[in-house]
Structure 1
Amino acid sequence: MDEIDIKMLKILQKNARITISELSKELALSRPSVTERIHRLQERGIIEEFSARISLPAVGREILLIIQVSGLKVSPQEFENIIKQKQDIIECHRVTGDVSYFLKAAVTGMNRMRLLIDSLMPYGTINTSTVLTSPVSYRYILPEVDDIE
């Protein structure tokens, strides 16, 4: 990747709906060149998809949870299949250490939180934390550049 690709990634992460024309103006490149670069970044797996970030509170999911699962009572594959079916869980990470999984969930209220926690209890030891604030809720991802401090 060169500096133009990096600048393109930054622009696209800020606004994935930017038109090719607008992007070509920002980058001072022709539209075909911009299109070719986007396709190349997609083919290389650098751009995985284009999507919209949704405000959880705006869609009624006021409570954000971090759930730690340890002492797993089923196989990891079985647990992951169960987790994939739970719509309140928005991220699942299998990790090393004493905790087997970190889950991120967004629920509509205390009753929904209780139901989610109760549904997870048969599969291991559950430790739930409620997120109070998120000082870094999202960060644009760019390749590391050695000379940036």
Structure 2
Amino acid sequence: MLDDLDRRIVEILAEDARISLKELAGKVNLSSPSASERLKRLEERGVIRAFTVDLDPAALGYTLQVIVRIRPLPGQLHRVQQLIEEIPEFTECDKVTGDDCFIARLHLTSIDQLDEILDRIIDRAETNSSIVKSQPVKRRLPPL
């Protein structure tokens, strides 16, 4: 569990992972060495896995997002998973319970690209695709 100070550090970093250590320390009323030690412990405990960049796919030309539900044919589960991992347009994928085994997100430049990608797995799985119109809730932290 996180104490109030760790929770505040994580919230600040979630807003701006590039914040300087000095600024972070000031916002949580700690010295820089104390803030650094807290940060190090959060990393060691696996609470913070990485400091990353949040790219806008549309700014890179990926104007189309698609959610694909994937149900591998019998005996094809591992091969379908391997294909999903190999296709870079699959930017996220969850292995789930229920009728479908995978729910994946694709970022594409055109609708034609969707057919090209799905053609690579269609002989191994059934798919159901939905085009994303908007994303009212962006990826966010779970409640701290």
Confirm or deny a common fold (TM above 0.5): yes
Q: Secondary structure at the match of 2:139?
A: coil
Q: Which moved more, 1:47-56 or 1:131-140?
A: 131-140
8 Å contact kept, 2:21–2:32: yes
Corresponding residue for 1:126? 127
Corresponding residue for 1:56? 57
User: For structure 1, which runs of at least 5 residues remain unmatched after alignment?
Assistant: 144-149
Please give the root-mean-square deviation of Cα atoms over the aligned residues, in Å.
1.2
Give matches, 1:74-93, under 5 Å. Answer: 74-93=75-94
Counterpart CA distance in 2 for 1:9 and 1:32 is 17
Corresponding residue for 2:19? 18
When the two structures are superposed, what TM-score results if normalisation uses the length of structure 1?
Answer: 0.91
- 1:94–1:37 CA distance, 2 compared to 1 (3 A): same
8 Å contact kept, 1:69–1:125: yes
Counterpart CA distance in 1 for 2:72 and 2:53 is 35
Give matches, 1:38-117, under 5 Å. Answer: 38-117=39-118
Q: Secondary structure at the match of 2:12?
A: helix
Counterpart CA distance in 2 for 1:75 and 1:118 is 15
Percent identity over paired residues: 29
The alpha-carbon deviation at position 73 of structure 1 amounts to 4.2
User: For structure 2, which runs of at least 5 residues remain unmatched after alignment?
Assistant: none
Counterpart CA distance in 2 for 1:138 and 1:48 is 16
Counterpart CA distance in 1 for 2:92 and 2:73 is 18
Counterpart CA distance in 2 for 1:74 and 1:82 is 14
The alpha-carbon deviation at position 111 of structure 1 amounts to 1.5
- Cα displacement string for residues 29-73 of structure 1 (whole angstroms, at most 9, x for unaligned residues): 010111111110111010010101100100011000000011434
Q: Does 1:4 align with 2:5?
A: yes
Write out the 4+ residue segments of structure 1 that deviate beyond 4 Å after TM superposition: none
The alpha-carbon deviation at position 96 of structure 1 amounts to 0.5
